[in-house]
């Protein structure tokens, strides 16, 4: 499988993903709906049930006293169907779990990179980090693109003493600022893969796979429209994720990451990048400790059955806290 991952740049082979997704779509929903309560009741006897509940409550912060006051703006779950114009990955990643619930229930979902808190309780992929984000209820959406983990066989100490930046910068002025600061520098291999007339031609470098990044000790994980998509696979590697403190979060719970424990924090203006790199080059044991903590953090997402139970609990709580069941 690792060889296939390298060939396909570690993206899930989409043919298999589509077949599995359409198989779920073809399965009668009543078969699952009749099992839902038994599945969740059985989960209560698991040794990690309290952990499952904590994760579910982190994703779904709805206050029943507020959320149940009005169902205006919500839509019947039965209208959630595959049709022309739907965003395929977001549809199938929500349908994987909504099919367990009655079509008569009401909900709302917003696909894409969501950077503001909706006015009504909504299922989203991303939300701003903070206390006032309860209407943004997280599920693991577009995971075929976002939730990717790598196997890295190169020890940290054998990697190049440089950073690498290969991220899209179009309509992302903060990433463009990084390029202007560090293109051509000795400390960072900075480049973009797609030529654009508004950027210098010399910025363009050949496309490289995720595995090609792993020869560097430091990999930049700078937020795009919302989160840094590459953060998950960087933290699963033996390289250090380098980034300012995150401002958005997804199912990965970026808001719980600890700076200089799970990743190397740099200033929002990127001015201390070289200084931070030098420190961890000179203190490799501390770098390896961060990598070990990152691997521990990643491990909690590898149990597929538990991830399914958390998602089902998030949705059940959504319907309960909006006063529907």
Of 96, 103, 87, give the one whose Cα is nearest residue 140. 96
Beta bridge partners of 188: 163
CA distance 73 to 233: 36
Considering the domain architecture, whether residues 272 and 166 belong to the same structural domain is answered as yes
Residues 129, 183 share a domain:
no
Predicted TM-score (pTM) of the model is: 0.93
Give residue 43's Cα distance to chain centre.
25
Q: What gap in Å lies between CA 14 and CA 52, rounded to an integer? A: 29
**315 and 283 in one domain?**
no
* pLDDT score, position 101: 97
C-alpha 55/C-alpha 84 separation (Å) is 34
Q: Which pLDDT band, with edges at 50, 70 and 90, does 250 fall under?
A: very high
pLDDT at 85: 82
Task: Tell me the three state secondary structure of residue 307.
Answer: helix
Per DSSP, the three-state class of 161 is strand
Banded pLDDT at 162 (limits 50, 70, 90): very high
Beta bridge partners of 137: 123
Considering the domain architecture, whether residues 49 and 181 belong to the same structural domain is answered as no
Which pLDDT belongs to residue 65?
A: 86
CA distance 20 to 96: 10
**What average pLDDT score do residues 196-222 get?**
95
Q: Are 106 and 71 in contact (CB under 8 A)?
A: yes
Cα Rg, the chain, nearest whole Å? 21
Taking residue 28's Cβ as centre, other Cβ atoms within 10 Å add up to: 8
DSSP assigned state of 246: P
Report the helix count and the strand count for the chain, using DSSP H and E.
14, 12
Do residues 280 and 22 make contact, with C-beta atoms less than 8 angstroms apart? no
> Over the stretch 39-54, which tens digit does the pLDDT of each residue have?
999 999 999 999 999 9
Same domain assignment for residues 281 and 248: yes
The total domain count for the chain is: 2
Verify that 16 and 36 share a domain, yes or no.
yes
pLDDT digits (tens, 9 = 90+) for 140-149: 999 988 899 9
Q: Please tell me the predicted confidence (pLDDT) of residue 6.
A: 53
pLDDT at 1: 39
How many CB atoms lie under 10 A from the CB of residue 148? 18
Q: Are residues 206 and 228 in the same domain?
A: yes
Report the pLDDT value the prediction gives residue 19, as an integer from 0 to 100: 85
pLDDT (tens digit per residue) in 288-308: 999 999 999 999 999 999 999
Give the residue-averaged pLDDT of 115-122: 97
Residues 258 and 202 in one domain: yes
Encode 28-65 in three state secondary structure: CHHHHHCCHHHHHHHHCCCCCHHHHHHHHHHHCCCCHH
d(C-alpha 101, C-alpha 92), whole Å: 15
Q: Which region, left, alpha or beta, applies to residue 245 given φ > 0 means left and ψ of -120 to 50 means alpha?
A: beta
Share of the chain above pLDDT 90, in %: 85
What domain range includes position 110? 2-147+303-321
> What is the pLDDT confidence band of residue 10, given thresholds at 50, 70 and 90?
very low
Full DSSP string of 188-240: EEEEBSS--TTS-GGGB-----HHHHTTEEEEE----SSS-TTHHHHHTSSSE
4 membership: H or E segment, kind and range: helix 2-7
Domain of 174, CATH number, reads: 3.40.50.2000
21 and 121 housed in the same domain: yes
Taking a C-beta distance cutoff of 8 angstroms, is the pair 105, 90 a contact? no
The answer to whether residues 143 and 228 belong to one domain is no
Q: What is the mean pLDDT of residues 9-34?
A: 80
277 and 308, same domain (yes or no): no
């Amino acid at each position: 499988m690792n060889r296939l991952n390298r060939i396909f740049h570690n993206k899930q082979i989409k043919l298999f993903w589509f077949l599995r997704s359409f198989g779920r779509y073809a399965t009668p929903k009543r078969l699952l709906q009749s099992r839902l309560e038994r599945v969740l009741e059985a989960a209560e006897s698991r040794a990690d049930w309290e952990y499952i509940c904590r994760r579910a409550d982190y994703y779904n912060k709805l206050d029943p006293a507020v959320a149940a006051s009005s169902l205006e703006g919500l839509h019947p779950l039965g209208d959630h169907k595959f049709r022309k114009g739907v965003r395929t990955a977001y549809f199938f990643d929500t349908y994987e779990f909504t099919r367990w619930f009655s079509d008569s229930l009401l909900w709302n979902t917003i696909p894409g990179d969501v950077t503001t808190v909706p006015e009504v309780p909504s299922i989203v992929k991303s939300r701003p980090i903070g206390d006032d984000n309860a209407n943004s209820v997280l599920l693991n959406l577009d995971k075929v693109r976002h939730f990717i983990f790598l196997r890295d066989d190169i020890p940290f100490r054998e990697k190049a003493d440089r950073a690498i930046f290969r991220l899209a910068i179009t309509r992302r002025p903060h990433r463009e600022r990084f390029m202007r600061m560090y293109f051509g520098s000795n400390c960072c291999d900075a480049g973009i893969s797609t030529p654009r007339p508004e950027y210098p031609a010399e910025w363009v470098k050949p496309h490289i796979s995720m595995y090609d990044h792993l020869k560097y000790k430091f990999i930049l994980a700078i937020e795009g429209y919302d989160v840094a998509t590459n953060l998950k696979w960087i933290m699963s590697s033996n390289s250090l994720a380098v980034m300012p403190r995150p401002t958005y979060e997804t199912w990965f719970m970026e808001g719980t990451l600890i700076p200089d424990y799970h990743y190397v924090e740099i200033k929002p203006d990127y001015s201390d990048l070289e200084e931070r790199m030098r420190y961890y080059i000179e203190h490799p044991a501390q770098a390896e400790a961060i990598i070990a903590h990152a691997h521990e953090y990643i491990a909690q997402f590898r149990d597929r059955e538990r991830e399914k139970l958390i998602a089902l609990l998030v949705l059940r709580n959504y319907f309960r806290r909006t006063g529907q069941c």
